[in-house]
Amino acid sequence: MAEKTKIAVLVSGGGTNLQALIDFEKSGRLQHGKLCLVISDNENAFALERAKKAQIKTSVILKRNFESKKAFEEAIIKTLEENEIELIILAGFMKILSEDFTKRYPERIINVHPSLIPSFCGEGFYGLKVHEAALGYGVKVTGATVHFVNEIPDGGRIILQKAVEIKEGDTPEILQKRVMEQAEWKILPAAAEKVCKEISENRQGALV
């Protein structure tokens, strides 16, 4: 079988999507990928504890330690290169990456977003704000999307989506939990495997 695709997961917070990836790998379903590195831009992110428990290498890169966004992103790129990372997964990573960064990794960065893109997405829509907006608008169905990352926030090609019902009396917190459980934790690992398989097979093809 082709060599596994080396994955880095970028996180900022709780890391439940990272946990879904870890559990997916542990159960043997991440057949074409390997979780090699977790990078956090927040030293207090619980995601770091999850990574350590799963014995995945971690790196904390704080924006405030750099004089510019460019220097911060260059530090991330250096860490990715040192670890020979082939696929970057944004799993609750709360910074928007610059065009310089995304152009470097065409179709090699994926992101999970907690709505059905193109609804409730783009700059300013992250975390609970997305669910507040969906409830505020009064939509009856929401969901999650995994997409490739390009220079347009939440604008890259869609890989997988899953719809989730909105129920009477939902709060943003209740809805966030349902969207995670019913959609994000399922489609993020599935999309990761799909993309890893493509990368592994293309690499294999290039060698013959």
Nearer to ligand GAR, 2 or 135 (CB): 135
Q: How far apart are CA 38 and CA 16, in angstroms?
A: 13
Q: Does residue 91 touch ligand GAR according to CB under 6 A? A: yes
How far are the Cα atoms of 120, 138, 165, 187 from residue 20, in angstroms, in the given order?
23, 29, 21, 10
Stretch that binds ligand GAR, among 24-32, 64-72, 108-116, 158-166 (CB under 6 A): 108-116
Collapsing DSSP states into helix, strand and coil, what is residue 171? coil
Q: Does residue 102 touch ligand GAR according to CB under 6 A? A: no
- Restricted to residues 127-146, the positions that interact with ligand GAR (CB under 6 A) are 127, 130
Q: Any catalytic annotation for residue 113? A: yes
Shortest spacing between CB 201 and ligand GAR, in angstroms: 28
Closest-CA residue to 73 (of 62, 89, 85, 58)? 62
Q: Does residue 189 touch ligand GAR according to CB under 6 A? A: no
Stretch that binds ligand GAR, among 9-17, 36-44, 56-64, 164-172 (CB under 6 A): 9-17
User: CA angle 158-161-163, nearest 5°?
Assistant: 150
- Restricted to residues 27-66, the positions that interact with ligand GAR (CB under 6 A) are 47
Q: Does residue 17 touch ligand GAR according to CB under 6 A? A: yes
Q: How far apart are CA 59 and CA 73, in angstroms?
A: 13
Interface with ligand GAR (CB under 6 A), residue total: 16
Which residues, including other chains, have CB under 8 Å from residue 11's CB and lie 6 or more apart? 18, 38, 39, 40, 42, 45, 47, 48, 91, 92, 93
Residue from 101, 105, 126, 148 binding ligand GAR (CB under 6 A): 126
Q: Does residue 112 touch ligand GAR according to CB under 6 A? A: yes
Stretch that binds ligand GAR, among 11-19, 21-29, 81-89, 197-205 (CB under 6 A): 11-19
Q: Does residue 122 touch ligand GAR according to CB under 6 A? A: no
Q: Is residue 203 within 8 Å of residue 168, measured between CB atoms?
A: no
Q: Is residue 164 within 8 Å of residue 142, measured between CB atoms?
A: yes
Closest-approach residue to ligand GAR (CB) = 92
Q: How far apart are CA 104 and CA 145, in angstroms?
A: 23
Known catalytic residues are 113
Contact footprint for ligand GAR (CB under 6 A)? 13-17, 47, 91-92, 112-114, 126-127, 130, 180, 184
